[in-house]
């Protein structure tokens, strides 16, 4: 590469997820950093996918997705959110990250401003920059991490094109309320904005909280793309299978780009997932209680520690304040924790434009009970 090469993403390096998982592997630490389940994919789904492979369904799927899967997604959306969709509203993607990238490329033009909320998932801003846009960061404050809608209104101007939300929220584990969505709906419609709603943890909420999907708000949905993840729902993040729901006109624009990014996603997994949704819908309904038990197990095991746990209302993450343990910044603390104490976590500072200096780390509890208990034993010794 020539020395005068100008990077399109000069400020982007290795993601914090990759960095911390590599450190966990290098030092043999318990990996509570990267957000992937330690337990296996449901046997029914694995069997249905293997059967598809054995039956010869190993060629390209239609670019939008296998018809049976599109139908089952529509049925699920109707059952959970009471929203009527059909195949013209749904596109299967190679993971939610592809869906987010394609949605941003479809909407953002050079010079457009995109509002995101810090701490923000790290794939949003590079995708916006590649589209020629600029992210406007609005911070959320610990410990509640709530959106200040008055501040959002102040930030909207003639260049504002798009708002990106994420609920249940990674990395904080918070969720948006019905009131939040109503204020957002008013803001989007009045200012003729667009919305991308990252809802990959939509089926993982706790304490009887209801996930307020954009799919529950028909007027807001008319200007929205909603991104979901089978990887999160079915414990198969390595399959990289997600989907995007949008009104027909936005779906058409989304598909124009999708066809040149991946064209189509893994055919056998699409067939297996369609059967899973059709014949085992209860898996989705049981996810919240399944993960709430793991959250409560980890929280209970850390009750005697010097960490102060913040509320986790969704996702499979919980934040822990370590200010009573160390004066180190969060990156240094996570490195020290991995190398010296054998537990890997994620610092929050990489998710901010202007980090407020909070001494808070993210722990993933999508792990076996034994792993969580062993990690808690180590953390309680600090």
Average pLDDT, the chain: 97
Q: Is-contact 16 346, C-beta < 8 A?
A: yes
Average pLDDT (53-81) is 98
The confidence score (pLDDT) of residue 2 equals 54
Using one digit for the tens of pLDDT, what is the confidence trace for 21-50? 999 999 999 999 988 899 999 999 999 999
The confidence score (pLDDT) of residue 244 equals 98
Is pLDDT at 3 greater than 70 in this prediction?
A: no
- Pick left, alpha or beta for residue 326 (phi over 0 → left; psi -120 to 50 → alpha; otherwise beta): beta
Q: Could you tell me where in the chain the CATH 3.90.1150.10 domains are found?
A: 16-41+283-380
In the numeric block, which tokens belong to residue 20? 């911390």
- Indicate the DSSP class of residue 209: P
Please state the pTM of the whole predicted model.
Answer: 0.97
Average pLDDT (74-84) is 98
Using one digit for the tens of pLDDT, what is the confidence trace for 151-188? 999 999 999 999 999 999 999 999 999 999 999 999 99
pLDDT tier at 101, thresholds 50, 70, 90 = very high
pLDDT tier at 13, thresholds 50, 70, 90 = confident
Average pLDDT (203-220) is 98
CA distances from 265 to 64, 239, 262, 319 (A): 9, 9, 7, 34
Sheet holding 242-245, edge to edge: 90-93, 242-245, 224-229, 194-198, 160-166, 113-118, 134-139
CATH fit for domain 16-41+283-380, picks 3.40.50.150, 3.60.10.10, 3.90.1150.10, 3.30.9.10: 3.90.1150.10
Q: Could you tell me where in the chain the CATH 3.40.640.10 domains are found?
A: 43-280
The confidence score (pLDDT) of residue 35 equals 87
The confidence score (pLDDT) of residue 187 equals 98
The confidence score (pLDDT) of residue 36 equals 85
Is pLDDT at 343 greater than 70 in this prediction?
A: yes
The confidence score (pLDDT) of residue 191 equals 98
Using one digit for the tens of pLDDT, what is the confidence trace for 286-303? 999 999 999 999 999 999
The confidence score (pLDDT) of residue 11 equals 87
The confidence score (pLDDT) of residue 258 equals 98
Is pLDDT at 141 greater than 70 in this prediction?
A: yes
Is pLDDT at 4 greater than 80 in this prediction?
A: no
Average pLDDT (129-139) is 98
Average pLDDT (277-282) is 97
pLDDT tier at 211, thresholds 50, 70, 90 = very high
In the numeric block, which tokens belong to residue 189? 């419609």
List, as one string, the DSSP characters of 339-359.
HHHSEE-EESGGG-SS-----
Average pLDDT (363-377) is 98
CATH architecture group of domain 43-280:
3-Layer(aba) Sandwich (3.40)
């Amino acid at each position: 590469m020539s020395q005068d090469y100008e990077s399109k993403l000069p400020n982007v390096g290795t993601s914090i997820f990759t960095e911390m998982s590599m450190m966990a592997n290098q030092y043999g630490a318990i990996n509570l950093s990267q957000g992937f389940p330690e337990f296996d994919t449901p046997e029914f789904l694995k069997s249905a996918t293997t059967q598809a492979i054995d039956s010869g369904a190993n060629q390209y799927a239609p670019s939008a997705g296998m018809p049976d899967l599109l139908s089952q997604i529509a049925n699920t959306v109707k059952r959970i959110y009471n929203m009527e969709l059909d195949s013209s509203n749904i596109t299967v993607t190679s993971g939610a990250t592809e869906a987010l990238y394609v949605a941003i490329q479809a909407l953002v033009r050079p010079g457009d401003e995109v509002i995101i909320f810090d701490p923000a998932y790290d794939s949003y801003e590079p995708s916006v920059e590649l589209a020629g846009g600029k992210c406007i960061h609005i911070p959320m404050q610990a410990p509640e991490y709530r959106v200040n809608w008055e501040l959002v209104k102040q930030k909207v101007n003639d260049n504002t094109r798009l708002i990106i939300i994420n609920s249940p929220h990674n990395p904080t584990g918070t969720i948006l309320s019905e009131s939040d969505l109503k204020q957002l709906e008013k803001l989007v419609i009045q200012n003729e904005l667009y919305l991308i709603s990252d809802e990959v943890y939509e089926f993982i909420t706790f304490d009887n909280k209801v996930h307020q999907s954009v799919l529950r708000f028909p007027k807001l949905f008319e200007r929205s793309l909603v991104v979901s993840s089978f990887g999160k729902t079915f414990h198969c993040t390595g399959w990289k299978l997600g989907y995007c729901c949008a009104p027909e006109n936005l779906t058409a624009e989304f598909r124009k780009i999708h066809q040149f990014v991946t064209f189509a996603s893994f055919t056998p997994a699409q067939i297996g997932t369609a059967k899973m949704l059709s014949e085992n819908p209860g898996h989705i309904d049981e996810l919240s209680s399944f993960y709430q038990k793991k959250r409560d197990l980890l929280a209970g095991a850390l009750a005697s520690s010097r960490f102060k746990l913040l509320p986790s209302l969704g996702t499979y993450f919980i934040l822990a304040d370590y200010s009573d343990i160390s004066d180190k910044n969060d990156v240094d603390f996570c490195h020290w924790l991995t190398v010296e104490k054998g537990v890997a976590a994620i610092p929050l500072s990489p998710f901010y434009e202007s980090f407020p200096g909070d001494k808070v780390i993210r722990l993933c509890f999508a792990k076996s009970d034994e792993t969580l208990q062993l990690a808690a034993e180590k953390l309680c010794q600090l």
